[in-house]
């Protein structure tokens, strides 16, 4: 099943750190929200060549998966 980013907004997380909340919409109409930390958000923006959050809308969910993987691998080795 495929999913695309359908909505993006900013949310306050613990200790005042902002996180990006990305809503995925699946082909069957279901939705899921995925919170992304600042590092993962930055990687996602870069991977999607987006300069604004609105440019993430319509991107495939695999961009989020890959950004999460890259963020994890960067923080694990660094």
What does the radius of gyration of the chain's CA atoms come to, in whole angstroms? 12
The pair of structure tokens assigned to 51 is: 């300069």
Q: What is the pLDDT of residue 65?
A: 96
Ranges of residues in the chain whose predicted pLDDT is under 70 = 76-78
Q: What is the pLDDT of residue 30?
A: 97
Q: What is the pLDDT of residue 78?
A: 53
- How many angstroms separate the CA atoms of 59 and 5, rounded? 5
Q: What is the pLDDT of residue 1?
A: 72
The tokens 């930055």 sit on which residue?
42
Q: What is the pLDDT of residue 66?
A: 97
* pTM for this entry: 0.88
- How many angstroms separate the CA atoms of 42 and 31, rounded? 23
- How many angstroms separate the CA atoms of 57 and 54, rounded? 6
Q: What is the pLDDT of residue 28?
A: 96
């Amino acid at each position: 099943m495929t999913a695309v980013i359908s909505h993006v907004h900013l949310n306050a997380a613990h200790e005042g750190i902002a996180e990006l909340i990305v809503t995925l919409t699946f082909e069957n109409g279901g939705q899921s929200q995925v919170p992304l930390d600042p590092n993962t958000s930055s990687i996602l923006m870069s991977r999607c060549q987006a300069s604004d959050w609105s440019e993430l809308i319509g991107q495939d969910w695999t961009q989020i998966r890959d950004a999460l993987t890259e963020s994890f691998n960067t923080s694990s080795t660094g």
